[in-house]
Amino acid sequence: MRGAQPRSNLFKRGIATAPTGPRNDLVKDRLPVPELCEQETQLITTVVGNYPKIPDMPAPGKWRSAVEKFQKGQLTEAELRQVEDEVTLEAIQDQVDAGVDLITDGQIRWEDGQTHFARRLRGLSINGLQRYFDTNIYFREPVAEGEIAWVEPISVRDFEFARRHSPRPVKPVVTGPFTLARLGRNAYYQSGREFVLALARALNAELRALQEAGAEIIQVDEPALCRYKQEYPLFAEAMTVLVDGVNTKKVLCTYFGDVDGMYPQLLQLPFEVIGLDFVAGYRNWDVIARAPFTKTLMCGILDARNTRLETVDEIGRAIRRITDVVPPDRVMVAPSAGLEFLPHGVAKRKLQRLVEGTRAASQALKGVQA
């Protein structure tokens, strides 16, 4: 009986009925409740992170207009932040309306995954635009020019804001030290290893700050791992430094590739949940069959980078393939990457389909078990 096993996934209970508004303690109280048997096969849905900031054409969207006005000096920074808050609430609402169980704040305030953190750490400057992996979007390259140090919380305010306004549990996301280093440049440290470890120490303080603020689960994004597999030993070392003293549930999220060659070693990392991309990283289908998946799997099975909507049937087949290898109570279903690669309307439909497909698959699993 799976009911007797320790559940690594504590997010399913009571989520749908949670009240809105301030609910710090409610979440804390709710999370450790014992599992109920009939909900065993209720698969959890979640997202990787970012979400479109503007509505579909032809509306320019208030965020885009606000940024333009801010750049022309017609809007104060406080007014721009206000608009970002409003757009964040809309991103939260889209996820809640779709029925996603574990949401993010949509990363509306992130310029890009690198700059958002690098700008607020000491020792890093921000350089020119670089292409973000194999996408057609860009980020600014962080450059280490001095001793890297954490100065103040970077994402805590945003996490608290989202949690205050979300009826669903909110998962803060931090770009990992390995990806920050790999997409950055080291002009200070003696070695690349020192650069990565310095970032890991700095971000450890950020994770601790999120823990302090009451986060029950924290996601660390490390897409660069799929591109620089040969550096896995350094990656593992950095992860140990990163999560030192952090006792929340932790998600290690990879995307844009597979983890072939690093599995099952990956399962020894100090994370309860591992996120894998089954679209760009289609090899992951074979990879996870090679050894028992002993953690919770956040499986990215809806293509976050193509507009084609997966059918409920396709999602069901993919989930069945996953649950053949990983017990359903240790599966979270997600898109393959952040949804900001898509126009707003499509992103919203992907969320709806994610939930629709996952619920249908849960029903089917229940049928099998009954």
Partner 1 sequence: MSLPLLPTTAVGSYPKPAYLLEARRKFLRKHLSKEELTELERRATREWIQIQEDAGMDLLVDGEQYRGDMVAYFADEMEGFAIAGLVRSYGNRYYPKPVVVGPVGRRHPVTVEWFRYAQSLTSKPVKGMLTGPYTIAEWSFNEHYPTRRELVLELARAIHQEVVDLQRAGARYIQIDEPAIHTRPEEDFDLAVEAMEIVTDGVGAYTVSHICYGDVPKIYPAMLKLAVNQLDLALKNEEFALLETFKKSPFTKDIGLGVVDAHSHRVESVEEVANGIRRTLGVIPAKQIFISPDCGLKTRTAEETVGKLRNMVEATKLVRKELTETRNRGIAETRTAPR
Point out which residues bind partner 1 (CB under 8 A): 52-54, 56-58, 63-64, 67-68, 111-112, 128-131, 134, 136-139, 306-308, 340-346
Which CB, 312 or 346, lies closer to partner 1?
346
Which CB, 169 or 281, lies closer to partner 1?
281
Which CB, 63 or 263, lies closer to partner 1?
63
Q: In angstroms, what is the minimal distance from the CB of 116 to partner 1?
A: 13
Q: Name which of 310, 303, 297 is nearest 356 in CA terms.
A: 310
Which CB, 5 or 282, lies closer to partner 1?
282
Which CB, 122 or 131, lies closer to partner 1?
131
Q: In angstroms, what is the minimal distance from the CB of 363 to partner 1?
A: 28
First-last CA distance in the chain: 13
Q: In angstroms, what is the minimal distance from the CB of 308 to partner 1?
A: 4
| Whole-number Å distance between alpha carbons of 194 and 325 | 38
SS3 call for 185:
strand
Which CB, 318 or 342, lies closer to partner 1?
342
Angle at 351 between CA 345 and CA 356, to 5 degrees: 125
| Whole-number Å distance between alpha carbons of 258 and 260 | 6
Contact 141, 127 (CB under 8 A): yes
| Whole-number Å distance between alpha carbons of 214 and 198 | 25
Q: What's the Rg (C-alpha) of the chain? A: 20
Q: In angstroms, what is the minimal distance from the CB of 201 to partner 1?
A: 29
Q: Name which of 178, 184, 185, 266 is nearest 223 in CA terms.
A: 178
SS3 call for 25:
helix
| Whole-number Å distance between alpha carbons of 177 and 189 | 14
Q: In angstroms, what is the minimal distance from the CB of 57 to partner 1?
A: 6
Backbone angles phi, psi at 242, to 5 degrees: -60, -40
Which CB, 40 or 90, lies closer to partner 1?
90
Q: In angstroms, what is the minimal distance from the CB of 194 to partner 1?
A: 23
SS3 call for 301:
strand
Burial degree of 4 (CB within 10 A; 0-12, 13-18, 19+)? exposed
Which CB, 54 or 205, lies closer to partner 1?
54
Which CB, 18 or 80, lies closer to partner 1?
80
Beta bridge partners of 277: 300
Which CB, 139 or 195, lies closer to partner 1?
139
Q: In angstroms, what is the minimal distance from the CB of 120 to partner 1?
A: 18
What residues contact residue 17 under an 8 Å CB cut-off, 6+ apart?
none
Kindly list the distances between the CA atom of residue 6 and the CA atoms of 9, 10, 272, 295, in Å, as whole numbers in the listed order: 9, 10, 12, 11
Q: Which two tokens stand for residue 113?
A: 């995954």
Contact 287, 259 (CB under 8 A): yes
Q: In angstroms, what is the minimal distance from the CB of 92 to partner 1?
A: 19
Instruction: Count other Cβ atoms within 10 Å, centred on residue 10.
Output: 18
Q: In angstroms, what is the minimal distance from the CB of 134 to partner 1?
A: 5
